[in-house]
Each structure stands twice: as C-alpha cells, then as structure tokens.
Amino acid sequence: MTTIVETYLACWNETDAATRRALLSEHWTPGASYVDPLADVRGHDALDATIAAVQAQFPGWVFSPAGAVDAHHNLARFGWGLGPAGAEPVVVGFDVVVTDADGRIESVHGFLDRVPSETAP
C-alpha cells in the first residue's frame, strides 16, 4: 500500500498530460472516484481534469507525503503536503485510499487539515 500511495502522489505531480493519463489508466480503476472538500469526480477523464486544474492553480508546487502510511487490508491513510518544491508545505491534507483486488485505486476520500486563507477558493 505504501507503493500505491507513492504512485497516487506521483499522479498528482505528473504535469505531462500523456504520462499522467498513462498513470491513471494503469493504477486507477475505470470508475475510480475521488472526493475531497472541493471536488467530487469519477472516472479517468474527470480525475485527469481535476489534477490538471490543481496544477494550474498552484504552478510549480508539488505534493509530498507527510508522516507514515498506515495501511491494512485494501486501505491506506496518510498525510500529504502541497507547496513549492523543497519548502514547507502550504496546504496540508489527509487521504484514505481504497484499492480493488488488483491493487488499483478504486476510491479516494480526501480531507484538508490546513488551507491558508490566501489559497482558499
């Protein structure tokens, strides 16, 4: 599950559209859902558009893992940060990823722990 979390964050950080799409196709189920306080999407097209929109909103920022991944069965919970590369994260969040029997991401339940007012939508 630690690997799938790394892959998950790699999807969020992948700015090359074709490579990102390939990552989505390989590691997410076709009907995978992603829900966080600002998004509620399903399927590769919508996931791809959501990731691209966040990248456009915060150009050059990167997602990084925060703390350990706690995983069991088909579940993993973990924290993450978003901010300029190499700097203290500006946005801090927490996700639970659910995988299917093949280890592909089936759903993501996302929450936000720190959103500075200047980055809020």
Shortest distance, position 53 Cβ to its own copies, whole Å = 18
Q: Which of 30, 37, 84, 103 binds its own copies (CB under 8 A)?
A: 37
Q: Which is nearer to its own copies, 21 or 98 (CB)?
A: 98
Segment near its own copies (CB under 8 A), from 2-10, 14-22, 32-40, 44-52? Answer: 32-40
**Closer Cβ to its own copies, 23 or 91, answer by number:** 91
Q: At what angle do helices 2-13 and 17-27 cross, to 10 degrees?
A: 150
User: What is the chain written as a DSSP string?
Assistant: -HHHHHHHHHHHH---HHHHHHHHHHHEEEEEEEEETTEEEESHHHHHHHHHHHHHHSTTEEEEEEEEEEEETTEEEEEEEEEETTS--SEEEEEEEEE-TTS-EEEEEEEEEE--GGG--
Of residues 53-112, those binding its own copies (CB under 8 A): 70, 72-75, 77, 94, 96, 98, 109, 111
* Complex with its own copies: residue 10 or 39, whichever CB lies closer: 39
Separation between Cα atoms, residue 112 and residue 34, nearest integer Å: 14
The count of residues interacting with its own copies (CB under 8 A) is: 15
Q: Which residues bind its own copies (CB under 8 A)?
A: 35-37, 40, 70, 72-75, 77, 94, 96, 98, 109, 111
